[in-house]
Each structure stands twice: as C-alpha cells, then as structure tokens.
Chain A
Amino acid sequence: MSGSEHINRNRAVDWGLKLYVLLAYAFVFAPIAASFVFSFNSDRFPSIPLGDFTLDWYHAVASDPLVWEGLRNTLTVGVIVGVISTALGFGAAYTDYRYKFFGKQVYLALALLPPTIPVIILGLAMLAYLSRIDLSGNALSVIISHVVVCAPFAMAVIRLRLNQMDPALEPAAWNLGASEWQTMRHVILPFCKPAVFGALFITMAVSFDEFAVAWFVSGLNETLPVKVLGFLQGQVSPRINAIGTFVFVTSMTLVILAQLLLTGRGAKARLAAAGQE
C-alpha cells in the first residue's frame, strides 16, 4: 500500500495528511509529555519558561503517608482485580468459544456491556447497592466494582486468542485420550497463556487508573487515583504530575509486558515463524 502507489496520488495532499497525523498525536501526547516534564520543574505554578530541575515533588509525594497508603491500596486492589477479572474473563471467553446455548446473546451482553455504562452512573449504582448489602466503604467494594468493569477487557483479549486456535485442536486432544479437564490443563490453557498474562496486566492497568467508581465506593480506603482527584479538588499542585508520571510508568510497563506477550511471544517463536515462511 505504501510507496508504490504512484500516479493516483497527490504528494501535497499526502504530506498534508501526514502533517495532520503528527498534529493529532501532538494533541494526544501534549498533556502526557507536559505532565512528565513539569514533574521535574521547580515552579509551583507550572508554565513556560521552565524553572529549575527538581525532584521536590517526588520527595513531597514520597513523604506523604497518605499517598503511600493510596499506593498500597491501589496495588492490592489492582492485583486482586487482575486475577479475578482474568479468571472470570477466561471462563466467559471459553464459554463463547466452545458452547452454543439459548440466551447466549444475553450472556455476551452481560459479559461485555459494563464498560459502556458511564462510570459515574456505575459508581452511584455500586455505592447505593453495596452500602445496602454492607459492603461499601472498603477495599472489597472497590475490588468488586473494578472486576465488573475489567472482566470484559480480559474476556475480549482471551477471546481473540481463542480465535487464533485451530478449532480441531481441542477435539484432537480428546481424540488422543485427554478428558475435557485434561484438555483444559494441557491444551487450552497453554495455548492461551500469553493472552492470560496479557489480560492480567491490562486489567491491572485499567484498575490502577480507574478513579470514578473507586471514588464513589472506596470510603476511607482511597486508591491512588482517588487521591489524585482529592489533590485536584484541593489546590493545583505539581505533585499530581509526580504521581501521574509514576502511575504512567507503572501502567506502561504492564501494557508493554502484555504487548510483548500477546504479539512477540519471545525471540524463539519469531525464529520459528521465520522458519515457516
């Protein structure tokens, strides 16, 4: 599709479009980059020209026990949410892959819809419902709510992987004497392993960044993003940049890990793929 398409192209239009793409990415990444840059900037009210390089904001954040508590909450919640969401998502993805049954459309709708409901509504509904069954105001309520939102992502990731599986693989294992459970353990799970870890990291990353629902239901056990919301409500503070940069690096590490697992699958597999061609 690239350079070889010659006569029907207008160079000016092409370059104009490419420039536009650069501008679009500049718009998308401007706030991310600014947050990174200003987290090392000494001015209390960040603007240009830049002030001096400083790690003060990181110090300020690191010496705030509430931030540490928030981080601890975030990590605990994120890991648990990741594990539960991935397990539930795997089950749903496998169900969709393997079975046909009456009401499957409804099942899939339930499995995939939650992320399309505005978080603020979900937050309110969760708060009202969970406090009714005496579950609100603690980390557990955040975990419960986050799994609702995260499980669909895990399901989508794993379902895509199952799509890549030769439909004959599972019956082939049965045919070779493996029971359904054995096949799950020795064929389906190994095949889905990269996607399972990918889903784990992606759901963790989603949970790390989610603030609205957490803000509604968390009570005193605030997660880090909820803390950030608190900073925002209080006074503008470059500490947000420091936390933002930290959360960004953490999330990106998880996402890149997931990406490597989902597409790369290591140099070994790439070598194998090359041999295939």
Chain B
Amino acid sequence: MERDTLVSFEGVVKRFGNFTAVQRMDFEIKKGEFLAIMGSSGCGKTTTLRMLAGLEAPTEGTIRLSGKPINHLPTWQRDTPMVWQSLALFPFLNVRENVEFALKMRGVGKAERRRRAEQWLDRMQISEFAERNIAQLSGGQRQRVALARSLVVEPEILLLDEPLSALDAALKVRMQAVLKTLQRETGITFVYVTHSQSEAFSMADRVVIMSRGVIEQIGTPQEIYRTPRTKFVADFLGSSNIFSGKVASVSEGAMEIDAPSGRMRLALPDTARRSRPVPGSTATVTVLDTRMGLSVARPADAVNVVPAKVIGEEFVGATATLYLETDHGQEIRVQMGHEALENLPVGIGQRLYAHWSPADGHLVAEV
C-alpha cells in the first residue's frame, strides 16, 4: 500500500440475499483527493459509500482506513461523516444544535462545542441563521448546514451521497464551486457519489465509473472522457460514437477494422502495444461526437467515411447535435457549432457523409 493511501477496498463483495450489489472491488482512495463514484441507479455506488461509512458490512473482503481494517467498526465509532441525499438534518434542532450534534455525541464540553460550531457556521457563511429552524432555510442554506454538521469534527474524509440532487440547476453550479473550494482549502478527502456526469467531471480529481457492482474505469475526468476503457463507459458517457467490427490488419502504429458500415482505420497509440489486437478478433472503436465531420459530398481525402441520413437534431446553447443513421442502422451523433451547421442541409432524411481522422479513433478494451 502506498503512503498516501487513505482508504483501500480489498476484494470487497456485498450481497443482499441473492442480489450482489458490489462484486469483488479493489481500489484505493488517496489522501486529500476529490474522488467521484459515478454510475446509474443500482450500480452499487451508494452501497460502496455506505460500506465505507459503516452503514453496511461487506460480505467479503476488507476495507481499510489509514491501514486499519474497519469492517466491523460500527458507524458511530468511525470518523467517516456523510452528507446525505436528503441531507437528514434534524428538524427538531436549530442550525447551531445540528452543527454541534457530533461534538455533543463525542462528549465535547458546551463552551468548546459552541466555539467549534461557530467556526464552521462562519466558514459556511450561515452564522446569521444559527438560531433558525431547519424548515426556515432555503435549499442552499441547508446544504451548508449539512456540510458544517459533518465537517465540524474535522474528519480526514467526507462522504457525500448525491447531496446536490434536490437543487435547481443554477444553485447546483454554485454549490459545486463551494464544494470544490472547500475541499481544496481543507485538504479533506471527499468521496462523492453521483449519477451526474457534469457534477463528477467538474469537481473530481479522479472518477470511478461503476456498473452492476463492478468498477468499469478509474481515472481523471480527461482520461475517461477521451479514452473510455470499456464500451459501457463510452455508452454511459454518451458523447462517443461506437463502432464494432473484426480486426482486418494490424501494423506499426495503426490498425484497420471491418465494421458493418465499412472499413475503418485508426492510429494505435504506444500505450495499446501491450495488448495489441489480433487480426480476426472483435474490436470496438469510439470516436467523440465533437471530432466527427459532416459533408454533403463524399470527401476525397478522408480515410474514414460513413454515409448516413439525418434522423434528428438537438440544440443546447451554442452547440447542436445531429443524429444520423447509417444504412446498417448504426446511430451516429455529431456535435458542431451553429456556424458550421448553417452551411449544411440538415432536413430529416438528408443524406450526408460522416468522416473522422484515424487519430480520433480510440480502441477500447472489449468486455
């Protein structure tokens, strides 16, 4: 185990009756990092967090905190405070009493309790609401109380279970900034569970992507976005076009694939050498939708060209996404600015040519 590891999951499995929520999980959380665990509902992300918090016991394997196994430590004997999706603020206590709660449970004296709570109320800019009831606060203010309540014991790690899901879009962005700043300033390890790609990618240093109780990929947001490791990840992020086919040839630095839509060529980066694909095997290639080009006539110089007809379009802010379908039923999405779009005929049914450079194709590990 490395020196800067705070938490390690070693072969952790969690079953509920016949249902396996988490299957054989091995990963580490580094001291001081902002880690996001992401996946759709039922993927095991919340179970993972709850095992770390001590609210569920692993069926198999060991979870270590600072090197010590904590499997059988009840949650009230761990310092793994959590911010809940519902926030779970105590409605019968006022803001100050909520923040003091953890200190009171630890037997901290009244004066000291008040002093430390004051400090965090101040830091979260909620001092003026100290005597208010929880019901009198706005959504954003409640978030701050929940954070102060968890952080008042100055833990090494903070667990967050989709804490922003109840907020509206504008407030969400503001709270993301608050969280990120807080994490950077305090140096406390944040483990943040979410199903939202934008939350995970905008705040986290590293992202864990889970599906059906299995970790699909761990990496920085950049790595995951550019080079999804599995087809699932590419699918889940939804910003890549995915082509599958048989490997036709492999040469130094490049390979060719026969997909239903035609032959495709892509550059093989050095990192892929170790697991160089064998001709005849199946391979999957992803191409980011921002890297796709469209033209009315077949481009003469392009290597990868797929004819397709337009089936729909979608506008979000300054960018537009065109949805096309090849003759083989494969869906292709292309993202472009409005200027680029203006020069294209994009009526439903319009035939166009999608093309991309071999350097933008990315080979994923087939699962």
Interface set of A (CB-CB < 8 Å, partner B): 166, 168-169, 171-180, 182, 186-187, 190-191, 193, 268-269, 271-273, 275-276
Contacts and interface: CB of A to CB of B under 8 A. Distances in A.
Interface in B67-95: 74-77, 79-82, 84-86, 88, 90-93
B81 A175 contact: yes
A169 B90 contact: yes
Interface size, B (range)? 20 to 34
B17 to A, nearest CB: 11
Contacts of A272: 133, 135-136
A75 B262 CA distance: 91
B76 A178 contact: yes
Contacts of B88: 166, 168-169, 171-172
A275 B135 contact: yes
Interface stretch (B101-109, B170-178, B218-226, B228-236): B101-109
B240 interface: no
Contact of B136 (A174, A182, A276): A276
A166 B89 CA distance: 9
B25 to A, nearest CB: 21
Given A166-B86, A191-B90, 16 more contacts: A166-B88, A169-B88, A171-B55, A174-B54, A174-B55, A174-B76, A175-B75, A175-B80, A175-B81, A175-B82, A176-B102, A177-B77, A179-B105, A180-B76, A190-B92, A269-B135
Given A171-B55, A190-B92, A177 B102 contact: yes
Contact of A168 (B74, B77, B84): B84
B153 interface: yes
A198 B86 CA distance: 27
B18 to A, nearest CB: 16
19 contacts: A166-B86, A168-B86, A171-B75, A171-B88, A172-B84, A173-B105, A174-B75, A175-B55, A175-B81, A176-B81, A177-B76, A177-B79, A177-B153, A178-B101, A182-B105, A186-B105, A272-B135, A275-B135, A276-B135
A186 B101 contact: yes
Contacts of B77: 177
Nearest to B98: A176
A166 B133 CA distance: 16
Contacts of B86: 166, 168
B255 interface: no
Nearest to B146: A172
B150 A176 contact: yes
Interface string B45-70: 00000000111000000000000000
A167 to B, nearest CB: 8
B355 interface: no
Contacts of A271: 136
B106 A177 contact: yes
Interface of B: 53-55, 74-77, 79-82, 84-86, 88, 90-93, 101-102, 104-106, 133, 135-136, 149-150, 153
Contacts of A182: 76, 105
Contacts of A179: 74, 76, 105
A191 B105 CA distance: 17
A132 B228 CA distance: 78
Among A171, A182, A193, A275, the one with the most B-chain Cβ atoms within 10 Å of its Cβ is A171
Question: Which 6 A-B pairs rank lowest in CB-CB distance, beginning with the nearest?
Answer: A172-B88, A272-B135, A168-B88, A176-B102, A177-B105, A178-B105
Contacts of B93: 190
Contacts of B75: 171, 174-175
Nearest to B104: A186
A175 B101 contact: no
A132 B333 CA distance: 84
B53 A175 contact: yes
B82 A191 contact: no
Contacts of A174: 54-55, 74-76
A175 B136 CA distance: 24
Among B81, B86, B90, B93, the one with the most A-chain Cβ atoms within 10 Å of its Cβ is B90
A275 B138 CA distance: 9
Nearest to A168: B88
Contacts of A275: 135-136
A169 B92 CA distance: 11
Nearest to A172: B88
A246 B75 CA distance: 53
Contacts of B80: 175
A169 B74 CA distance: 16
A238 to B, nearest CB: 48
Nearest to B152: A176
A225 to B, nearest CB: 37
A191 B149 contact: no
A262 to B, nearest CB: 15
Nearest to A189: B92
B90 A273 contact: no
B93 to A, nearest CB: 8
Nearest to A273: B135
Contacts of A276: 135-136
A186 B103 CA distance: 13
Nearest to A272: B135
